[in-house]
Amino acid sequence: MRFSWFVVAVCAAAAMLFAGSVSAQRRSHARGDSREALTLSPAEAAEMLSGMRTYLETVQGIVSALAENKVARVPEIAARSGAKLLGSMNPITGLKAPIGFTMMSLDTHDKFDKLAEKARRGTSRTEVLTDLQDILGNCTGCHAAYRLAR
């Protein structure tokens, strides 16, 4: 299922990339913000922001588990932001986003799933932190490159 959603997202985002992002980028640059703007309906924006809050809650939960030296809790916590989170999202939202945003989003969900699997197999706290560093790199990179249009 993830693969088919991915293919649809890539095809649609590529088709929409030229049409929607050029005017959004012009509006963004005009205000001095060079990040690419995502133009979403209020409901789509709320859904996307909810997903980002889930990412933050997941990261906070993982850090808390590590601080308490309870790596065994990490798989369940990390899985909250894995691919299963996509099942609760409207695929149209992903189709309206720039392809780079969609690709980074899918990669982030995949990284959470891989972290959950590694922790399930009994990885070290250091490895969990290294994976978490990569996930947060995606978050930081995404926020540096994209913003919601207002």
Closest CA to 110 of 131, 126, 141, 124: 131
Q: What is the C-alpha to C-alpha distance for residues 39 and 23, in angstroms, rounded to an integer?
A: 10
Q: Which residue has the tokens 């509006």?
A: 27
Q: What percent of the chain has pLDDT over 90?
A: 69
Question: What's the rounded mean pLDDT across residues 106-119?
Answer: 97
Domain that holds residue 76: 2-148
- Compute CA distances 9 → 98, 99, 102, whole Å: 10, 8, 7
Please give the tally of structural domains in the chain. Answer: 1
- What per-residue confidence (pLDDT) applies to 74? 97
For the entire predicted model, the pTM comes to 0.78
- Residue 91 neighbours by CB distance under 10 Å: 14
7 vs 125: which has the higher pLDDT: 125
Q: What confidence score (pLDDT) does residue 81 get?
A: 96
